[in-house]
């Protein structure tokens, strides 16, 4: 029996630290036995993700209570048993203080359509961070938090200024916010959040 076991721990290193973890790909399907599993928990032992032997759609989480632990385990009996694609993960660490990075009225977020379990949004394009000389194409994180749950999800967008947020609950309120990251800068730009209710079935 062979096995792989990896753990990543994100501990606090800046004031009001928040960790945004995004999985572009989670494919843990097995065709020849064995087990592959990934879990994500924070310091309060809140479980954000647990996937075993299956494929999962891209997903992201905002962790406001570091440290955060990500654990990946995979076992296999032979070389042919390692028939999974595994995971592709990205992470962003930033200060969640509203005083350090208040929302910008010039960085507008607009809801363009609301459907059952889905919300379409768009926002103002940014090419330069307002407080520095850093320029280029930013990476946008679109946060969507159900007011009835304690988990804040997000999706990652590059080279676009619109997004479709799906896999949502029906007839539920969501707080939506867009945060722009410029590589080469520790600062972020926030669009002021909006509150939206999804439609019924």
* pLDDT tens figures, 26-68: 999 887 778 889 999 888 888 888 999 999 988 888 877 778 8
Per the CB < 8 A criterion, the answer to whether 142 and 149 are in contact is no
Q: Say whether pLDDT at 102 is over 60.
A: yes
Domain with CATH 2.60.120 in the chain: 4-95
In tens, the pLDDT along 105-134 reads 778 899 999 988 899 999 988 766 555 555
Could you please state the CATH topology (level 3) that the domain comprising 109-197 is classified under. Answer: Immunoglobulin-like (2.60.40)
Domain with CATH 2.60.40.10 in the chain: 109-197
Per the DSSP assignment, residues forming a β-bridge with 21 are: 61, 91
- Name the architecture of domain 4-95: Sandwich (2.60)
pTM: 0.68
Extended strands (E) in the chain: 2-10, 17-27, 36-41, 47-52, 55-56, 59-63, 68-76, 86-95, 103-104, 109-115, 118-123, 139-146, 152-158, 162-165, 173-181, 188-191, 194-197
Altogether, the residues listed in the chain come to a count of 201
């Amino acid at each position: 029996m062979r096995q792989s076991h990896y753990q990543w721990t994100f501990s606090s290193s800046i004031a009001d630290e928040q960790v945004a973890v995004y999985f572009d790909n989670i494919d843990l399907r097995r065709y020849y036995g064995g087990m592959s599993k990934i879990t994500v928990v924070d310091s309060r032992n809140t479980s954000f993700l647990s996937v075993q032997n299956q494929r999962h759609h891209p997903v992201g989480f905002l962790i406001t209570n570091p440290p955060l632990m990500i654990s990946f385990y995979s076992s296999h009996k032979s070389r042919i048993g390692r028939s999974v694609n595994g995971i592709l993960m990205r992470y962003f660490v930033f200060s969640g203080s509203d005083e350090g990075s208040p929302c910008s009225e010039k960085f507008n977020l607009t809801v363009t359509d609301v459907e059952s379990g889905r919300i379409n949004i768009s926002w103002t394009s940014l090419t330069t961070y307002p407080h520095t000389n850093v320029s280029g194409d930013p990476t946008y994180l679109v946060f969507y938090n159900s007011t009835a749950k304690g988990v804040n999800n997000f999706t990652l967008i590059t080279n676009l200024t619109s997004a479709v947020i799906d896999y949502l609950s029906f007839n539920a309120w969501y707080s939506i916010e867009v945060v722009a990251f410029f590589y080469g800068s520790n600062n972020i730009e926030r669009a002021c959040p909006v509150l939206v209710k999804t439609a019924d079935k």
